[in-house]
Amino acid sequence: MIDLVEDRRTKRLYALKRILCHSEADERDAAREVQYMTTFHHPNLVPCEADITLPVKDHRTAISELLIVMPFYRVS
């Protein structure tokens, strides 16, 4: 799921990608995605501004959620 978020201080818009992880393998795959986003720098690749993995307490099957903050690009 991807949400549009705004920095309260700067008013800059970001895309927040949320990945729900149901297993340790899912967590590894999500972490690998962040690793790729931070390793490769190219104009056609969206960079990772920040990321965090949070435990999920109220979901029945998920164990964690990875949040990835990316720049928001307007479509002209």
Please state the length of the chain: 76
Higher pLDDT, 76 or 9: 9
Q: Residue 76 — very low, low, confident or very high, per pLDDT cuts 50/70/90?
A: confident
Domains of the chain: 2-71 (3.30.200.20)
Decide if pLDDT at 14 tops 90.
yes
Q: What is the pLDDT of residues 39-72, one digit of tens each?
A: 999 999 999 999 999 999 876 788 999 999 999 9
pLDDT at 3: 97
Write down the mean pLDDT value for the chain. Answer: 94
